[in-house]
Structure 1
Amino acid sequence: MSNRDNHNQIPLMSRVDGVGQWLAPLGLRALLAWEFFEAGREKLQGQNWFADLGDKFPLPFSLLGPNVNWTLATWMELIGSLALLVGLGTRYAAATLWVVTIVAIYAVHWPSDWSSLAELWQGYAISNEGYGNYKLPLIYLVMLLPLMLNGGGRFSLDHLIRTRRSSIVATTANTTAWGLVLFSIGATLSLLLPWAGGVLAIAGIALMTWSRRRASSAGRLVTA
């Protein structure tokens, strides 16, 4: 059977998936790179207004002072956006911008006071009507998530470097990986929603602990 016949037997959606591995992450990277670069450039060329936020920054950023936080946010956005654009260290860049966005929501966009989920939901808006305006940064968080978990895709320097160094093998998620992801997301989310973030973080720790104990037990059985 020829290669062309083999190719024709591959389902169409599987071939579309192959195209998606090139284009889908590229679209996310390009859009996020533009948005964060614009934010970083505005800070670089503008005046530091972080001092007006007072003590609204979460730990450990509240210990750094407005000038240090301004410099950190500026260069994390500028460097992170360029890294996303070319797909170099995509997971690390996306994780860095995830933290920047979480801190921005906590300090600027999150409602200062809310007593119910209905009130909190009113802050899901672009403009602040007294209930916060976390809609846009929340969308950024959701867009960063697949880049954190899946990387920059095939149209990236990360992919080029991996293919040059070694062959890429298929991987599957295991319990430890799930635990690490849940813990990381929960730890940052706990700044905004302590109960929800705490549950995710505890679930992540439990999964990693269970996986480690299971591996240890399997090792003892092998050596017995």
Structure 2
Amino acid sequence: MFNNKTRTQPLMSRVDGVGQWLAPLGLRVLLAWEFFEAGREKLQGENWFADLGDKFPLPFSLLGPNVNWTLATWMELAGGLALLLGLGTRYVAATLWVLTVVAIYAVHWPSEWSSLAELWQGYAITNDGFGNYKLPLIYLVMLLPLMLGGGGRFSLDHLIRIRRNSTVASTADNTAWGLVLLAIGVTVSLLLPWAGGALAIAGIALMTWPRRTTQVGLPAAA
């Protein structure tokens, strides 16, 4: 039953409340299925990472195909399950973000391109030699709100926060924006060095930007 305060709220404000339960849940369920299925196929299939040669970026190129295959398999299996439960959502989404960027770099990114028009040809679900990064790019966009906003109210993360009674009003300051831009820029620089570098530099600038402080007036000396 709605109380009087709820009835006087605008309709969209009440819809926002529903969205905090359902919107992240939809992303979590779909991504959990996709990553878990990818991990299960690796678990039951043969290791084809050796065919990629030296296409993995550092530090993964130092690990070898067998270690990378095992890491990718269990990150996808465990990450998919964690997303479904909403447990450690931000950290899991960030881990899968890095995994997806590495996959785009090693498998789905065009080997050669000289213009944005040529690069755009790889935004497709095909294997015609121009790249094939459409689907993993969609995964990156879907992971982003989970990295920044968490798993929502229909998650174990939310239940743990309630148990700990540690809900704090969220604020976005220069340091928070800077950290997010720096983290995204570092990973994006594998694919687009100029864009990733610009994001990383902007993030560092925000984190080091001098903060304005207000002085509290003190009583004048007698």
TM over 0.5: yes
1:164 corresponds to which residue? 163
1:91 corresponds to which residue? 90
Q: Which runs of 5+ in 1 are unaligned?
A: none
Question: What one-letter code is carried by the residue in structure 1 that aligns with 2:77?
Answer: L
Deviation (angstroms), 1:169: 2.8
Q: Any idea what the Cα deviations from partners look like across 1:97-125, whole Å, max 9, x if unmatched? A: 00000000000000000000000000000
Deviation (angstroms), 1:167: 4.3
Aligned partners of 2:166, 2:53: CA distance in 1, in Å? 51
Structure with the larger helix share = 1
Aligned partners of 1:130, 1:19: CA distance in 2, in Å? 44
Aligned partners of 2:160, 2:91: CA distance in 1, in Å? 15
User: Scaled by the length of structure 1, what TM-score is found?
Assistant: 0.93
Indicate whether 1:118 and 2:117 are aligned.
yes
2:148 corresponds to which residue? 149
SS of the counterpart of 2:145?
A: helix
How do 1:1-224 and structure 2 match up within 5 A?
Answer: 4-210=3-209, 213-214=210-211, 218=213
Deviation (angstroms), 1:164: 0.7
Deviation (angstroms), 1:168: 1.7
Aligned partners of 1:153, 1:63: CA distance in 2, in Å? 37
Aligned partners of 1:42, 1:34: CA distance in 2, in Å? 12
SS of the counterpart of 2:16?
A: helix
Aligned partners of 1:214, 1:140: CA distance in 2, in Å? 36
Aligned partners of 1:17, 1:203: CA distance in 2, in Å? 31
Aligned partners of 1:16, 1:200: CA distance in 2, in Å? 33
Question: What one-letter code is carried by the residue in structure 1 that aligns with 2:131?
Answer: G
Deviation (angstroms), 1:166: 1.2
Question: What one-letter code is carried by the residue in structure 2 that aligns with 1:214?
Answer: R
Identity %: 82
User: Scaled by the length of structure 2, what TM-score is found?
Assistant: 0.94
Aligned partners of 2:154, 2:48: CA distance in 1, in Å? 37
Deviation (angstroms), 1:158: 0.2
Q: Any idea what the Cα deviations from partners look like across 1:80-109, whole Å, max 9, x if unmatched? A: 111100000000000000000000000000
Aligned residues: 216
